[in-house]
Chain A
């Protein structure tokens, strides 16, 4: 079949150019939605992918400038909304979509970026509970990274003064929100970590603190450079960035997370007053233990002295008695040497040592129960229901009637 006369025969290039011009004219601004697949990041920085739904697909390209501005990574399977234009790529004869805007569908770009960073750091083991370091229980020196003028530093210093003045506090001022905050926080963490490693400023813990604020203000603590600095820090880090609702990346990487700067200090330090009360209690237990031993020993000596058979070597018993008196004196003197507001209490108790009254034992919560004839009740079988018994307490006596008496298995 001959070619008809007079037809205009175009070259491939000419035709393609014509098609391209038409398409570009008609599809200059297009919004389209679909699922991204076959996402490829080329070394040029351009991103190529296919946008598809169940029946069709379009080749898409996102040039480097646009791709770099994207806060999150485009991934296969992601539902997206695109704005762009249709064009033709002449060398292949493909028509394709040039992406000018790319939005994740159903979720904000910032949120998606954060989610992706969390996934990435999780995969790198940054959040692994096994690598969380314990915070020393009685810290000697702690560092605070915070704004030098904010409420966070004031709250932390106040609480430290109240709870744990034992520790030296090193304040390292830092921007914690706004432009450059992430870089500043990261740099300060690395600086403190390096001083610790060189042993020129050994630290027990670092608190990164910030007062409350909006989720946007929190952004510095969601940046990868901060996460890296916490992860690589040679000192345990407590993150206290003051946002109860959103858990920041810094919170997840830190060895401990506190909801507020004050909470961080509570978590980091023991309470001095509680510890002092605990020490007074230990002191009382030490004394009670000793008093008890002395009492038992003295009873033994008394019993021995009562037996006629032992009366003979009386000097041995006298010697034993004297030794007990010496030990009681030692206890008394040791107790008296204790400082502070314990002193009077201790001395008063030490004076009672010689008496070793059973009332002292009653004061510790024990009681003594007797029957009507004065015999001591030592077992359930000693009493019968209906019987009246009397219980001796340090400040008086209780009379009671036995309702029932049954043996129970001994616990422990």
Chain B
């Protein structure tokens, strides 16, 4: 029931489960014990999703081609000078990712 905070959770499944928990909780047919258990599960899911969204840092990669062993050759992507000039303040922070 308790999940490690850094486990990547699938938003689709987490939100679907939260929706179900809310409906069960709000229609008031569960026992008090169950309601609390659902609440705890719900909060754990919310916390996980929230943490992932809050801590997300974008990774931007340039696909240069294939490596010698046939894997995608991904390099850090740097913006060109012309773009830097256009938006000097905001660019740097975004591109580091």
Q: Which residues of A does B touch, CB under 8 Å?
A: 137-138, 143, 148-149, 153-154, 157-158, 160-161, 164-173, 192, 195, 200-201, 272, 275-276, 279-280, 282-283, 285-287, 289-290, 292-294, 296-297, 324, 327, 330-331, 334-335, 337-340, 342
Contacts and interface: CB of A to CB of B under 8 A. Distances in A.
Contact of B61 (A168, A292, A335, A337): A168
Contacts of B36: 290, 327, 330-331
7 contacts: A154-B79, A157-B60, A164-B56, A170-B63, A283-B46, A286-B22, A327-B36
Contacts, number: 146
B43 to A, nearest CB: 5
Nearest to B25: A289
Contacts of A201: 63, 72, 74
B4 interface: no
Given A170-B63, A171-B62, A282-B22, A334 B46 contact: no
Contacts of A153: 83
Interface of B: 5, 10-12, 18, 21-22, 25-26, 28, 30, 32-33, 35-36, 38-40, 42-43, 46-47, 49-54, 56-63, 70-72, 74, 77, 79-80, 82-83, 86-87, 90-91, 94-95, 97
Contact of B39 (A192, A286, A342): A286
B61 A171 contact: yes
A337 B47 contact: yes
A338 B43 contact: yes
Contacts of A169: 58-61, 77, 97
A339 B51 contact: yes
